[in-house]
Amino acid sequence: MNRRFNSQTSTEPSHENIDLKPFINFLVVLIPALMLSAEFSKTSINKLHVYKKGTTIDTRDTVEPIIREQLKLTLFVTDSALTVASNYGFMPSMYYKEYARYVQKNNSRNINIVPNTEPERRNAENKGYKLSELLLYTQNEDKTVNQACYYKGKLLVDSNMKPVTEVKENVDFFTIDNTGTRLPAIATKNIEKKPLSVYDNLQCLLLQAHERYGQSVADGNNIVIASDDKVVYDKIVQLMDVSKASGFTEISIAKIRT
């Protein structure tokens, strides 16, 4: 006797009919997202470990940037005085008197230094002299010109960068352009007293300022030269040269508003 089976539809889905496309699409989106999140997690836990200044031990501390003070050095220039100012205050003004150096046209050995006034200029030119350079000599409140010691045309300074006004025994002397080399005693024969140039006097002051503040402030090599409209450009150029020779190589020019 033959058995007969009724054909029935199975309630379980056939494996051959499963649609995997949505799952694959999901993985396509999920895997890059997981990779990106893993990379972000990696970078987020990285820490910057900096050694504290002056130590060789890893302290695992975050060092905050050091805010250095500023000197804000400014040189004010008028037709009669130089004044140095900074963030710490004003220095006493250096008053000067202007002289003119004249050289005879047909004999350069003949030199005449006279006050730079209209009558003196006219008198020198009438005698066959021509202007060689302008000289600025420091003077006291009573208008007398200060004197200082010079060696072969270079100002002598002591160990404190002060102009030498009198040569003494057992005292170290230096020339302003070579403060690291002591002048030998035998060289004192070539020392002469001359009017103190305001440029040399200024360089002494600027050298002291740069030695003291040059490395400790953020603008240790900066200086602003501010002048009024009466100051001739030749003075500004010479003041720039003095500033550079003193270590202040970053120079700005400004005008004094009156």
- Residue 16 in domain: no
- Residue 43 in domain: no
- Tens of pLDDT, residue by residue over 88-120, are 999 999 999 999 999 998 888 888 898 988 899
Q: What average pLDDT does this structure show over 147-176?
A: 90
Task: Compute the radius of gyration of the chain from its Cα atoms.
Answer: 40
Q: Which amino acid is at 161?
A: M
- Residue 67 in domain: no
pLDDT at residue 3 in the model:
47
Q: How many domains does the chain have?
A: 1
- Residue 185 in domain: yes
Which of these, 211, 230, 233, 232, lies nearest to 220 by C-alpha position? 211
Question: What is the band of 52 on the pLDDT scale with cuts at 50, 70, 90?
Answer: very low
- Residue 84 in domain: yes
Quote the domain boundaries for residue 246. Answer: 74-100+138-255
Percent of the chain at pLDDT > 70 equals 74
Mean pLDDT of the residues in the chain: 81
CA distance 18 to 12: 12
**DSSP structure class, residue 185:** G
Which of these, 139, 142, 186, lies nearest to 167 by C-alpha position? 186
- Tens of pLDDT, residue by residue over 190-242, are 899 999 999 999 999 999 999 999 999 999 999 999 998 889 888 999 999 99
pLDDT at residue 60 in the model:
46
pLDDT at residue 220 in the model:
93
pLDDT at residue 173 in the model:
87
Q: What are phi and psi of 28, to 5 degrees?
A: -60, -35
CA distance 228 to 116: 19
